[in-house]
Amino acid sequence: MAKYDQQWYRNFYGRYLTAFVMIGLVLVNVLFFICQILYGDLLTDKGALDTYSVYSKDEWYRLITATFLHADISHIISNMVGLFFLGGLIEISVGHLGFALIYLLSGIGGNAVSVLYEKTFMIDRYSVGASGGVYGLIGAVLVLSIYERIRQKSEGESKGTTGNLVYRGAFVVIFMVASGFSEQNINNAAHIGGLVIGMLVSFILVLILRKKIKPMDL
């Protein structure tokens, strides 16, 4: 029986229903976006990432709230697609708590890197979005794929698709970072910060969990 048959797809995507932290985060993001539509600029102005408000008004909560706000419908769709597919894979692989740590620390940490960068170079702008967390998930996929590849080789396994997944993950990282620099109004500091933090948190989880980590079967 071919690997990618109808039953495989049912089993694979059915596992996403067990990733309840990811599903909860998607729902929270959608709820926040609906509130943004209902309340206009009020919610966005109060929760967006704003370096001046963070430093001068001690509104550090913006590092968190900004990760749940989005600029428009295309913005939230693109981020939620990444959160759903990458987040589901990672939550299945490292568990609910591990996934939550990767995503939330990447999003908040990416915003902290952005604020530090903007403070250093005296940049004044608003930014919103879950992109830092999503970039952290991309970094996590890359780290977990490399770990699985190393594990397979150490155990003498010749089968598996992790080799291709490592190359695809590296390509996605390079492509998305390059795309960010080619477009205006993109918070690349938050993206790169989230990516690096996601990789670091995933590396720590690999050291702690080791063989408890489940392979990302693609």
Q: Would you call 49 exposed, middle or buried from its count of C-beta atoms within 10 A (0-12, 13-18, 19+)?
A: buried
The one catalytic residue among 53, 93, 106, 191: 191
Residue 49, H or E segment:
strand 49-50
Provide CB contacts within 8 A for 181, sequence distance 6+.
188
Cα torsion through 108, 112, 118, 119, rounded to 10: 150
Residue type, 82: G
Three-class SS state of 69? coil
Known catalytic residue at 75: no
40 pairs with which residues across the strands? Answer: none
Three-class secondary structure of residue 127 per DSSP: strand
List all residues 6 or more positions away from 177 whose beta carbon is below 8 Å from its beta carbon. 188, 191, 192, 195
Q: 119-149 burial, b for 16+ CB within 10 Å, e for fewer?
A: eeeeeeebbbbbbbbbbbbbbbbbbbbbbbb
Residue 96 known to be catalytic: no
**Catalytic member of 131, 154, 179, 202:** 131
Sign, Cα dihedral of 115, 121, 123, 128: negative
What are the catalytic residues?
131, 191
